[in-house]
């Protein structure tokens, strides 16, 4: 059995072990488990134009189901340790832009997610998505990896309460601040700081399974702090023993979609624009994330490409279809699975473990709340440090490359969007290359993508102009 697993997943070939993969897959799950709590808050609480609400327990169950199935599928077929779950940003777009603003029903909105996913799959099967990867210059791929690292670190800081949004009423030009009024004023934020120190110790001392051990230690610390302080400031769920072990999941919203209703509801042009926005966001979020994770795991070739990329992209595209059919929003490669890679994951076996834990979470709903987000968030900051190593792959003395690379890196965390960073980077890369007299050296696909992103960033005024 061990020999079969080793051959199929190339475990020894990639310098890993079965034990390492299973442990690291568990780390990925705990770093990603917050999506089971967060996605229902985004999708499950708001009524559509007909007053229908998906429901928090229903979305939680669907979120765990689709994440589990797609993580297992990606691990078994693509054989990479890139776990999948409902994409942050895309779920907000579905809830706000498609349902609350455009007036679609939840069934119609999820139908468009399915259509967008089918287009993504066709683009992957045709080889176009692979061609896009090949057309991106190596320094820009490095910038995407660093940007994702900064984005992941920002998520860690925000989830841990170390960085907070400054209210507009503060009359300040500073959008975010340290803790509360410049102080670490909550016990969960203290747990995050202690957890970051624990994680740093583990990686500096090269402790085997250090980040997994750190999450366990951080959780124990969180339980002790909560027992002593009874804090109400935890980001997702307070670290408390669950009241029960759960029960059968409510999967009533799975399959409840309407593929054509949106066209009649809001018109063909408006519907196509919504699909285009979903498509571009999903396309480049996944592309950037896989590039960054592949480089972090040292699985890419000399050109920064993953072997067998076409197969991986087809499975990733299927995540959008599955997410729409499950009413959980488009599922994509999840940047937070970098936590498992940091703990040693190198193969799809780690994904199998992550996916099985997501499936188990459907039945043992309270158990994933045991690890508070503040205990897992420090791992994301450490991941950001690791991914920043790719800065050395960027020729900073060549300004026509340095400017778009820098903008790619900073726009991702500042706008909380991988796609935004890639879009700004592609547009400026085309412009800066032209300024340097190297326009003919830019691949035609890069010019095409730059033009598409110009449309993407101007989608609201374009929609208003069309009416």
**pLDDT at residue 218, as a whole number:** 92
**What is the pTM for the complete model shown?**
0.82
**pLDDT at residue 246, as a whole number:** 66
Q: Which of 47, 114, 18, 105 is nearest to 323 (CA)?
A: 114
Coil vs helix vs strand at 84: strand
**pLDDT at residue 300, as a whole number:** 85
Contact between residue 454 and residue 427 where contact means Cβ atoms under 8 Å apart: yes
- Residues 411, 147: Cα–Cα separation, whole Å: 8
Residue pLDDT tens, the chain, 467 long: 788 898 999 999 999 999 999 999 999 998 888 888 888 888 988 898 899 999 988 999 999 999 999 999 999 999 999 999 998 778 888 988 889 888 899 999 999 999 999 999 999 999 888 888 888 898 998 898 899 889 888 888 988 888 888 776 556 666 777 877 777 888 999 999 999 999 999 989 988 888 888 888 998 999 999 999 988 888 877 887 766 666 788 899 999 999 999 999 988 888 888 898 888 888 888 888 888 899 889 998 877 778 888 899 999 999 999 999 999 999 999 988 988 999 999 999 999 999 999 999 888 755 566 778 888 889 889 888 888 888 998 999 999 999 999 999 999 898 888 888 989 999 999 999 999 999 999 999 999 989 988 988 887 787 777 66
State the DSSP string of 294-328: HHHTT---TTS--TTHHHHHHHHHHHHHHHHHTTS
Contact between residue 157 and residue 323 where contact means Cβ atoms under 8 Å apart: no
Q: Partners of 332 in the beta sheet? A: 85
Q: Which of 370, 376, 41, 377 is nearest to 238 (CA)?
A: 370
Task: Please give the angle made by the CA atoms of 286, 291 and 294, to the nearest 5 degrees.
Answer: 115
Q: Which of 394, 392, 432, 425 is nearest to 408 (CA)?
A: 425
**pLDDT at residue 242, as a whole number:** 67
State the DSSP string of 359-413: HHHHHSGGGGGSS-HHHHHHHHHHHHHHHGGGGGGS-TT-HHHHHHHHHHHHHHH
**pLDDT at residue 406, as a whole number:** 97
Task: Please give the angle made by the CA atoms of 272, 276 and 279, to the nearest 5 degrees.
Answer: 135
- Residues 158, 420: Cα–Cα separation, whole Å: 19
């Amino acid at each position: 059995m061990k020999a079969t697993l080793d051959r199929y997943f190339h475990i020894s070939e990639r310098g890993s072990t079965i034990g390492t993969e299973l442990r690291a897959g568990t780390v990925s799950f705990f770093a990603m488990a917050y999506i089971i709590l967060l996605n229902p808050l985004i999708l499950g609480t708001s009524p559509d134009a007909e007053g229908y609400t998906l429901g928090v327990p229903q979305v939680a169950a669907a979120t765990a189901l689709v994440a589990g199935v797609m993580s297992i599928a990606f691990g078994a077929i693509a054989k990479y340790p890139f776990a999948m779950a409902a994409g942050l940003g895309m779920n907000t777009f579905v809830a706000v832009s498609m349902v609350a603003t455009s007036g679609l029903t939840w069934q119609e909105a999820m139908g468009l997610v399915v259509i967008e996913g089918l287009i993504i799959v066709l683009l992957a099967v045709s080889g176009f998505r692979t061609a896009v990867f090949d057309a991106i210059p190596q320094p820009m791929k490095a910038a995407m990896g660093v940007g994702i690292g900064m984005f992941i670190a920002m998520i860690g800081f925000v989830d841990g309460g170390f960085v907070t949004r400054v209210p507009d009423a503060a009359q300040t030009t500073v959008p975010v601040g340290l803790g509360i009024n410049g102080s670490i004023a909550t016990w969960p934020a203290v747990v995050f700081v202690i957890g970051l120190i624990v994680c740093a110790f583990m990686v500096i001392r090269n402790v085997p399974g250090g980040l997994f051990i750190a999450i366990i230690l951080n959780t124990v610390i969180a339980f002790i702090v909560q027992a002593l302080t009874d804090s109400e400031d935890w980001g997702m769920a307070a670290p408390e023993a669950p009241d029960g072990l759960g029960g059968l999941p409510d999967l009533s919203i799975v399959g409840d979609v309407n593929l054509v209703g949106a066209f009649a509801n809001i018109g063909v042009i408006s519907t196509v624009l919504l699909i285009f926005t979903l498509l571009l966001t999903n396309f480049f979020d996944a592309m950037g994330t896989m590039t960054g994770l592949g480089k972090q795991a040292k699985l890419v070739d000399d050109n920064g490409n993953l072997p067998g990329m076409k197969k991986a992209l087809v499975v990733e595209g299927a995540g959008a279809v599955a997410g729409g059919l499950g009413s959980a929003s488009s599922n994509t490669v999840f940047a937070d699975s970098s936590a498992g890679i940091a703990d040693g994951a190198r193969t799809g076996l780690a994904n199998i473990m992550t996916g099985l834990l997501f499936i188990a979470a459907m039945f043992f709903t309270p158990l994933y709340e045991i690890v508070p987000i503040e205990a897992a968030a420090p791992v994301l900051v450490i991941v950001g440090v690791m991914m920043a190593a790719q800065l050395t792959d960027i020729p900073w003395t060549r300004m026509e490359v340095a400017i778009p690379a820098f903008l790619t890196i900073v726009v991702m965390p500042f706008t909380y969007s991988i796609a935004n960073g890639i879009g700004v980077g592609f547009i400026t890369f085309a412009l800066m290359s032209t300024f340097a007299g190297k326009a003919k050296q830019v691949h035609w696909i890069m010019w095409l993508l730059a033009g598409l992103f110009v449309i993407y960033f101007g989608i609201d005024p374009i929609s208003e102009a069309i009416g």
